Amino acid sequence: MLFNYRYSGQTEVYSNATSAGISFAPDTHREPTFFAGKLRKKIAFREAISALHDVVVSDLRFKPKDKTAYKEWAAQQESMWLAEYMGHYDAAAANNRITALNEELRSIFQEKERVKAPYYKARKAYFDYLYQKDRDAWFVLDPVISVHPDEIFFECFSQDESAYGKLSASYNVFKEVNEFKCGTTNIDYSAALYNEFQKIRDYKETTFTVDPAGFSVQTTQEEMFREVKIDLPDSWVRGFLQVSSAMTLPAASFDLHPMDVYNFCSWLRRFKEKKGPRSIRFVLDPGKPVKAIFEPWNKEIICARSIYTGPQRREIRIWGRRRLLILERLIPVAKKFTVHLTGSGLPSFYVADLGDMQFTLGLSGWTANDWSRAGQFDLMAPRATVEDATKLRVYSELQQMWMGKPEEISARTGVSVPEVLATLGIYTQAGKVIYDLHTGLYRLRELSREPLPLDQLRFSNPKEESATRLMKEGKITFSAQQVPSVGLQVEGQITAERRTYHPVIVIDGDERMSTGHCDCYDYITNKLYKGPCEHMLALRMTHEKNKSNNNA
């Protein structure tokens, strides 16, 4: 998917003995979005923006060792090894011959190195250039910056697309806010900026700017603009769309003291597992300290300062735990870490409370399973048929207020809460709305200035398409009953491909699919790790259609 950016100049960072400044160059193709202020909490901001950088450069995918040099060396040694072996027939003659050959080979290799030295130097420079260019391409894509009436926030993805980072900074982080205009824009963000961020000091006056001049440059000064065209992977965009949906899933939540996170990171730094299982098993007992068990050593870390206050006992395992080291830099400046676990093998979220800043780290089920493939969590979000006029009313309200909770939006627009939730889910999947985990607000955030091709992005697998086909065939019967303290339980019977399936789903009070099961191969193999199966989806779609017809 091709994205076009147009920057006025380049992002700049300057630093001297008494002051520092950060000026981001925004995308001038988008609606004017700018911000200018002076930092109050400089050290906390430096650590938080550096942790965001750690998300961007994180890539824990398996990388096989490069054995090219070894194979070249082994090929060169083969003739000598053979000569040494054969030399036992006449040791003295063979040794003399080997010595002469070694001298001759040494001179040949030296001459070869001398002749090919410019080539090797040029090759290294070329690959260094490619590496830096690739990294800069990722930085151009990340982060996306949004300016809201109450805060400014960055969003980004890791290179392996398994970790999501979001840094929210309220205006209390700044002691002086000169001017701003709300909106979302892409910013020119290069790899060299990380080193410049490290120069931020408490004694230096630091200015933070999303450059407003980028939108006031005369159109005749075309040399001041820089055009960038990025062929953005569909998975990157689809991953952004999935994160907000995953945030709305029911989760077991608890607070961790910074020292507990330090203990986790310390253990991961000291020990490297050589075999599985490579998981952390959280044991959550109401009224008791959170217990984390690191496998395969079965090392128990009891978080004595962190008491679980949930209603029932839970035991949840997470994988890809080394990604938690991204939080390491935040430990000295964090007041607490709030953990949201959606289930074993499902996404998990870690919100670092930095006072007037919040850093959210979202991790997919495991490292090799990026957000694009982690599961169709949007399919578990509230779903209902909403009229176009209703959708426009909700979206217009959000455009005016920039943020709001579903209940507040419902009160201001007169639209029912279920319809508001369904509408917000639709706009989340359109890349126009984001769910803010630490406040519970839905915020306006347009990922792209142009409408995203939803037909291309919505499906990373054909589950919902198959569910729609099953619903249209009409071979579905169901019954629904309200279960106290659980939600609406819907049991169905679906006949498809000469077999009958028996899906069961539970829809909670917020119209979310909280759990479910089925006797199909997809569910038996993956449970809900990759989202609901097509039969659960077809059952829910049929139930929603029936409910809409009855209301009509």
Please identify which residue in the block is written with the tokens 């990922």.
Answer: 447
Tokens of 246: 């995953």
Please identify which residue in the block is written with the tokens 């090759």.
Answer: 123
Q: CATH assignment of 8-58+96-216?
A: 3.10.150
Percentage of residues in the chain with pLDDT exceeding 70? 75
pLDDT tens digits for range 283-336: 999 999 999 999 989 999 999 999 999 889 999 999 889 999 999 999 999 999
Contact present, 3 and 232 (Cβ < 8 Å): yes
Whole-angstrom CA distances from 74 to 7, 43, 68 are 50, 52, 10
Q: What is the largest CA-CA distance in the chain?
A: 103
For the chain, first and last CA: distance in Å?
A: 41
Contact present, 437 and 360 (Cβ < 8 Å): yes
Whole-angstrom CA distances from 415 to 393, 408, 421, 547 are 9, 10, 10, 17
Neighbours of 282 (CB within 10 A): 22
pLDDT tens digits for range 54-86: 888 777 766 667 677 777 777 777 777 776 666
Q: Which CATH superfamily is domain 237-379 in?
A: DNA Polymerase III, subunit A, domain 2 (3.10.150.10)
- CA neighbor of 151 nearest in space, from 519, 441, 531: 441
The residue that leads in pLDDT, 139 or 121, is 121
Percentage of residues in the chain with pLDDT exceeding 90? 26
Question: Within the chain, which residue ranges are assigned CATH 1.10.10.10?
Answer: 381-456
pLDDT tens digits for range 500-515: 999 999 987 766 788 8
The class of domain 381-456 in CATH terms is mainly alpha
Q: Tell me, letter by letter, the H, E, C secondary structure of 252-320.
A: EEEEECHHHHHHHHHHHHHCCCCCCCCEEEEEECCCCEEEEEECCCCEEEEEEEEECCCCCCEEEEEEC
What is the pLDDT at residue 77?
78
Please identify which residue in the block is written with the tokens 């109450």.
Answer: 150
Angle at 351 between CA 312 and CA 458, to 5 degrees: 90
pLDDT tens digits for range 237-275: 677 777 877 888 888 999 999 999 999 999 999 998 888
Q: What is the mean pLDDT of the chain?
A: 79
Contact present, 227 and 8 (Cβ < 8 Å): no
Residue 361 in this model has a pLDDT that exceeds 90: yes
Which of 106-115, 257-266, 363-372, 407-416 has the largest mean confidence? 257-266
The residue that leads in pLDDT, 354 or 461, is 354
Which residue(s) pair with 8 in the sheet? Answer: 225
